[in-house]
C-alpha cells in the first residue's frame, strides 16, 4: 500500500510525503504528489478501491480514474450513495480501462441515484448560469484596414442562439448542422473556396443589418440607430465617402446598399450641408411588399443563386438616390452577397428576360 502518513516525511526530513515518495521511487515531483494524493484518498475515504488495488483487481491508473470520479461527487451526498458509486465503478474496472472509467465516472450518479443526479445537475447549472451572467464580456479591438475584432464571452444559451442564426445565414438550405463544415462556397471573383469561418462572419454581418429597429432599446427618446451621413450629389454620382455617426467612414457603394435595408438611418445633405432627408420610412418595403416579393421571386434573383427568399434583401432596381420608387414592381430580392455586387461599381448588372440579374466584372 502507498505510504500516506505525514510522519514518514518528517522522519526523513522531507517537506511532504509526496516529496519523500518521489525521491525514494525516483519519480518526478508532480508524479510523487499525485501518488501521495491517491494514497490519502484510498486510506481515508475509498477503502473498497484500496482493497481492489491491493488484490490486483484494478491497476493504479484505473484506481486514479475511479478516485477522481468519486472525489468529484457532491459533498452533501449520502454515504450509502457514495458506497454504491464506489462499488459500481470498481465492478466496471474488470471491463473498462482508465479513459473509459473517467467518462463513466462523470455520469455515475445517473446509474446509482438518478433522482439525486438530476437535482445535482439542476443546482450545478443554476450556479454556472449565475456565474456566466457575471463573467460575460464583449470586447472590441480596432485592427485597421477596415477590420475590427470582436471577442465575446457569452452564456452557452446565447452562444447557441447566435450560432444557430449564423449557421442559417451561412447555409440556409442545409438541414443538418453536422454537414455545415463541408459547405463548399466559391468566391465568384477569385474562384477560391470561402472558408467556413468567413461564411459565418458574412452571416453575422447580414444578421446585424437585419436587426429590426423596434428590438433596440430606446435611447434619447428614439430607437437606437446607426446614422450614415452623405452628400446627396456624391450619393447620386457614387463618388466620395459617407460618414457613420461613430466617426468611421464607409464607401458610397456601401451607403447606397444600406439605403435598401432596415437598421440604418441615412442623413442626406445638400451642398450647404443641410439635411435633405432623415429617415427611411418612404424607402422601406412594407411587410406586405416583402410577402409579395417572396411569393413572386421565391429566392435570390441573381442568376444561378438559390438562397431562399427568407434570407434575401429587397433591392431597389432604380436607385433611391436617383429617385427610384419603393414598389414591388421596381424591387427584386437579392441575397446579401449579390446585393453587395449590385452596389459595387466594379460590376455591370444586366436584367435577363426572365427577371433574373446577371453580374459581370468590368475589365
Q: Is the predicted pLDDT of residue 274 greater than 70, yes or no?
A: no
Tens-digit pLDDT profile for residues 30-89: 666 777 788 888 888 999 999 999 999 999 899 999 999 999 888 888 889 999 999 999
**How far apart (Å, rounded) are the C-alpha atoms in residues 276 and 268?**
5
Tens-digit pLDDT profile for residues 288-325: 777 778 878 888 999 888 888 877 888 887 765 566 66
Average the pLDDT over 171-184 and give the result.
46
**How far apart (Å, rounded) are the C-alpha atoms in residues 261 and 264?**
7
What confidence category does residue 180 fall into, taking pLDDT thresholds of 50, 70 and 90?
very low
Statement: the pTM of the whole predicted model exceeds 0.75: no
Cβ–Cβ < 8 Å for 40, 64: no
Q: Is 348 helix (H, G, I), strand (E, B) or coil?
A: strand
What confidence category does residue 96 fall into, taking pLDDT thresholds of 50, 70 and 90?
very high
**How far apart (Å, rounded) are the C-alpha atoms in residues 4 and 241?**
75
Greatest mean pLDDT range, 82-86, 177-181, 276-280: 82-86
Residue of 6 and 142 predicted with greater confidence: 142
DSSP for residue 325 = -
Amino acid at each position: 500500500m502507498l505510504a500516506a502518513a505525514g510522519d514518514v516525511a518528517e522522519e526523513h526530513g522531507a517537506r511532504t510525503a509526496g516529496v519523500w515518495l518521489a525521491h525514494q521511487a525516483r519519480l518526478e515531483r508532480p508524479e510523487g504528489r499525485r501518488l501521495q494524493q491517491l494514497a490519502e484518498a484510498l486510506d481515508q475515504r475509498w477503502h473498497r478501491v484500496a482493497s481492489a488495488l491491493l488484490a490486483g483487481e484494478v491497476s493504479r491508473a484505473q484506481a486514479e480514474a475511479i478516485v477522481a470520479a468519486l472525489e468529484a461527487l457532491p459533498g452533501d451526498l449520502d454515504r450509502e450513495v457514495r458506497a454504491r458509486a464506489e462499488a459500481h465503478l470498481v465492478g466496471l474496472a474488470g471491463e473498462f480501462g482508465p479513459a473509459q472509467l473517467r467518462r463513466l465516472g462523470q455520469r455515475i450518479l445517473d446509474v446509482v441515484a438518478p433522482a439525486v443526479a438530476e437535482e445535482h445537475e439542476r443546482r450545478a447549472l443554476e450556479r454556472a448560469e449565475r456565474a456566466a451572467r457575471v463573467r460575460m464580456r464583449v470586447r472590441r479591438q480596432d485592427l485597421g484596414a477596415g477590420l475590427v475584432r470582436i471577442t465575446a464571452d457569452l452564456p452557452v444559451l446565447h452562444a447557441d442562439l447566435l450560432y444557430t442564426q449564423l449557421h442559417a445565414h451561412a447555409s440556409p438550405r442545409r438541414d443538418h448542422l453536422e454537414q455545415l463544415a463541408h459547405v463548399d462556397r466559391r468566391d465568384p471573383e477569385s474562384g477560391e473556396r470561402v472558408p467556413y469561418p468567413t461564411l459565418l462572419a458574412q452571416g453575422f454581418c447580414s444578421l446585424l443589418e437585419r436587426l429590426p429597429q423596434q428590438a433596440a432599446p430606446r435611447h434619447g427618446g428614439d430607437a437606437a440607430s446607426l446614422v450614415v451621413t452623405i452628400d446627396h450629389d456624391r450619393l447620386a454620382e457614387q463618388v466620395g465617402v459617407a460618414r457613420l455617426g461613430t466617426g468611421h467612414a464607409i464607401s458610397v457603394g456601401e451607403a447606397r446598399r444600406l439605403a435598401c435595408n432596415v437598421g440604418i438611418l441615412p442623413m442626406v445633405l445638400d451642398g450647404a450641408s443641410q439635411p435633405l432627408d432623415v429617415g427611411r420610412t418612404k424607402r422601406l418595403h412594407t411587410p406586405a411588399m416583402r410577402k409579395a416579393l417572396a411569393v413572386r421571386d421565391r429566392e435570390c434573383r441573381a442568376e444561378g443563386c438559390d438562397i431562399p427568399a427568407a434570407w434575401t434583401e429587397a433591392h431597389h432596381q432604380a436607385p433611391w438616390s436617383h429617385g427610384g420608387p419603393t414598389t414591388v414592381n421596381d424591387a427584386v430580392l437579392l441575397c446579401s452577397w449579390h446585393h453587395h455586387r449590385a452596389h459595387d461599381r466594379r460590376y455591370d448588372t444586366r436584367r435577363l428576360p426572365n427577371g433574373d440579374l446577371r453580374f459581370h466584372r468590368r475589365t
